[in-house]
C-alpha cells in the first residue's frame, strides 16, 4: 500500500506596506474616535499601500520571505494558488503576475476569489493537489489592497480594513501536515457584505458607493460568530479530535470581539489564539497567513503542534484547516 501524502509547511512570510494609518488619523477623515474603534473592533492601526503599490507587489515580498525561510529554489515550486479580492488587473491573474516576478515558468498559477476565506480556500485546493501527487511544492498566497475598495468617507466600513500579504509554502511529505480542510459558501447573504459593482456590472459608474465595500456590520457579526464555532466543531469531528487537542487557533483577523467569542466557544485561552488585528485591521485573505507567519517566526508555534485556521467572509464563504506544524 502506498504511503499517505500530507501537505507540510516549509516556509512562511508576510509583508505590510510602510504607511500606517492610526485610529487617530481616521478621526480627521470621518466622525469616529480611537476609543470607539478599539472598543468595538480591537483595531489600533492599519497599513495602507503606497500610490502605485499593488497587491502583487505586497505578495512578492511575502513570497520571497517564505521562499527564504524554506531555503528552496523558486524554480522548484510547481503551483501557485493566489487568494485575492483586489487583483492588480482583471487579467492576467495576480498569480501569473507573481509567477513572472519570481522568475518561474510553466507551473500552473491561478487566483481564488473567496474574499476573507480566500486563503483557507487556497490551502484546501493546494492540499488536494499535494495529497493526490499532482503537485509537490505549492506556494499559497493571500494578499490584498483593500484600501482601494474602501470608501474613506464611510465611517461604518473604513475603520475596519487594511492592506497586506501573507505567503505559505507547502511541500509533500509522509509526515502529518494538513489533517483536513473544510470549505463552504452560502450565496444568499450577498447583500450583507459586498462591493456593488464590478467589471460586468455598472462598469461606467463613477459613484463611489458602487465601487467600495458595503456592509451590514451587525448582521455579519452574528452570522460570523455562529458559523465560525460550527466550522471548528465540524473540523474536530472529522478528525475524531476534541477541543483540548488544539494548540493554536489562527483565525481570520476581522474583529477582536469575533475572535474572542469564537475562542471562548472552543474553550481556548487567550494565550492559544494568535491575534494581529490590532496592528493591521482586516486584511481579508492576507490575515490568516500573516498571523501564522508571525506566530511561527516569534516561536509561539512549535513543530508538532496542532493548529486550527479558520475564516469567514463575503459570499458568505467560510472554511477551516486543521494541521500539524
Ligand atoms: N465611529 C463611531 N460611531 C460609529 C462608527 C464609527 N466608526 N460606525 C458606526 N457608528 C455608530 C453607528 O452609527 C451607531 O450609532 P446609533 O446607535 O446612533 O445608530 C452605533 O455606532 C452602533 O453601531 P453598530 O453598527 O450597531 O455597532 P456594532 O457594535 O455592531 O459595531 C462593527 C460595528 C464594528 C462594524 C461590528 O458590527 C462588526 O465588527 N461587524 C463585523 C463586520 C466585519 O468584521 N466585517 C468584515 C468582513 S466579514 C469578516 O471578515 C468576518
Segment 271-281 mean pLDDT: 97
- Residue 26's pLDDT is what? 98
Number of the ligand 1 atom closest to the C-alpha atom of 284 = 50
Out of 56, 252, 255, 280, which one is annotated catalytic? Answer: 252
Q: Which residues fall within 8 angstroms of residue 50, CB to CB, at 6 or more apart?
A: 17, 18, 19
Domains 6-175 and 179-324 share a fold: yes
Distance from Cα 34 to the centre of ligand 1, integer Å: 14
- Per DSSP, the three-state class of 45 is strand
Q: In this prediction, what percent of the chain has a pLDDT beyond 70?
A: 99
Helix (H, G, I), strand (E, B) or coil at 139: strand
Q: What is the CATH number of domain 6-175?
A: 3.40.47.10
Q: Ligand 1: which residues within 6 Å by Cβ?
A: 32, 36, 40-41, 116, 155-156, 159-160, 193, 215, 217-218, 220-221, 224, 252, 254-255, 258, 282, 312-313
Q: Please give the distance, rounded to the nearest whole angstrom, from the Cα atom of residue 226 to the centre of ligand 1.
A: 18
Q: Which atom of ligand 1 is nearest to the CA of 157?
A: 35
Catalytic option among 116, 184, 255, 280: 116
Measured by CA distance, the residue closest to atom 42 of ligand 1 is 217
What count of residues does the chain have?
A: 325
At residue 202, the pLDDT reads 81
- pLDDT digit string (tens) for 97-109? 999 999 999 999 9
Per-residue pLDDT reduced to its tens digit, 117-156: 999 999 999 999 999 999 999 999 999 999 999 999 999 9
Arithmetic mean of pLDDT over the chain: 96
Q: Has 116 been annotated as catalytic? A: yes
Mean per-residue pLDDT for 25-41? 97
**Nearest partner of 85 among 173, 27, 158, 164, judged by Cα:** 164
Decide yes or no: CATH 2.40.30.170 for domain 179-324: no
CA distances from 163 to 57, 93, 156, 239 (A): 11, 19, 18, 34
Phi first, then psi, for residue 148 (nearest 5°) are -80, -15
What is the arithmetic mean of pLDDT over 290-309? 98
252 is catalytic: yes
By alpha-carbon position, which residue is closest to atom 30 of ligand 1?
A: 218
The SS3 assignment for 133 reads coil
Residue of the CA atom closest to atom 41 of ligand 1: 221
239 — pLDDT class (breaks 50, 70, 90): very high
Mean pLDDT (whole number) for 184-211: 92
Tell me how far CA of residue 274 lies from CA of 150, 258, 287, 299, in angstroms: 26, 13, 11, 12
* Mean pLDDT of the 252-262 span: 95
Check the CA dihedral 213-216-217-220 and report its sign.
negative
Write down the pLDDT at residue 205.
81
Please report the pLDDT score of residue 306 as a whole number: 98
Q: What is the pTM of this model?
A: 0.97
pLDDT band at residue 203, thresholds of 50, 70 and 90?
confident
- Average pLDDT rounded to a whole number, residues 28-38: 98
Reply yes or no on whether the pLDDT at 16 is more than 90. yes
- Ligand 1: which of 217, 219, 257, 313 to mutate, most ligand atoms within 8 Å of CB? 217
**Whether residue 167 has a cis bond before it, omega within 30° of 0:** no
Q: State the pLDDT confidence band at 19, using cuts at 50, 70 and 90.
A: very high
Q: How far is the CA of 96 from the centre of ligand 1 (A)?
A: 37
What is the Cα–Cα distance from 179 to 8, expressed in whole angstroms?
10
- Percent of the chain scoring above 90 in pLDDT: 95
Strand, helix or coil for residue 231:
helix
CA–centroid distance, residue 218 to ligand 1 (Å): 6
In the chain, where the domains are located: 6-175, 179-324
pLDDT of residue 241: 96
Is residue 1's pLDDT more than 60? no
Mean predicted confidence (pLDDT) in 47-65: 98
Residue tagged active-site, from 23, 255, 280, 282: 282
Amino acid at each position: 500500500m502506498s504511503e499517505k501524502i500530507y501537505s507540510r509547511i516549509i516556509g512562511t512570510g508576510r509583508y505590510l506596506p510602510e504607511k500606517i494609518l492610526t485610529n487617530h488619523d481616521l478621526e480627521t477623515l470621518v466622525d469616529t474616535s480611537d476609543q470607539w474603534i478599539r472598543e468595538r473592533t480591537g483595531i489600533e492601526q492599519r497599513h495602507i499601500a503606497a500610490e502605485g503599490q499593488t497587491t502583487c507587489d505586497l505578495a512578492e515580498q511575502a513570497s520571497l520571505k517564505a521562499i527564504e525561510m524554506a531555503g528552496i529554489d523558486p524554480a522548484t515550486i510547481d503551483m501557485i494558488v493566489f487568494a485575492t479580492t483586489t487583483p492588480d488587473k482583471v487579467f492576467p491573474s495576480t498569480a501569473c503576475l507573481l509567477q513572472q516576478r519570481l522568475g518561474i515558468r510553466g507551473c500552473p498559477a491561478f487566483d481564488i476569489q473567496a474574499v476573507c476565506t480566500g486563503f483557507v480556500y487556497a490551502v484546501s485546493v493546494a492540499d488536494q493537489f499535494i495529497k493526490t501527487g499532482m503537485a509537490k511544492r505549492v506556494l499559497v498566497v493571500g494578499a490584498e489592497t483593500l484600501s482601494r475598495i474602501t470608501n474613506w468617507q464611510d465611517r461604518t466600513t473604513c475603520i475596519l480594513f487594511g492592506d497586506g500579504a501573507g505567503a505559505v509554502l507547502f511541500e509533500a511529505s509522509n509526515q502529518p501536515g494538513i489533517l483536513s480542510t473544510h470549505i463552504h459558501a452560502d450565496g444568499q447573504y450577498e447583500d450583507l457584505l459586498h462591493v456593488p459593482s464590478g467589471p460586468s456590472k455598472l462598469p461606467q459608474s463613477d459613484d463611489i458607493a458602487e465601487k467600495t465595500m458595503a456592509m451590514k456590520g451587525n448582521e455579519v457579526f452574528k452570522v460570523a460568530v455562529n458559523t465560525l464555532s460550527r466550522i471548528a466543531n465540524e473540523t474536530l469531528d472529522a478528525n475524531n479530535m476534541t477541543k483540548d487537542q488544539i494548540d493554536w487557533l489562527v483565525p481570520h483577523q476581522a474583529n477582536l470581539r469575533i475572535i474572542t467569542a469564537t475562542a471562548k466557544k472552543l474553550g481556548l485561552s487567550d494565550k492559544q489564539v494568535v491575534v494581529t488585528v490590532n496592528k493591521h485591521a482586516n486584511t481579508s485573505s492576507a490575515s490568516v497567513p500573516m498571523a501564522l507567519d508571525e506566530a511561527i517566526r516569534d516561536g509561539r508555534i512549535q513543530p508538532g503542534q496542532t493548529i486550527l485556521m479558520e475564516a469567514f467572509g463575503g459570499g458568505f464563504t467560510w472554511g477551516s484547516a486543521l494541521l500539524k506544524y
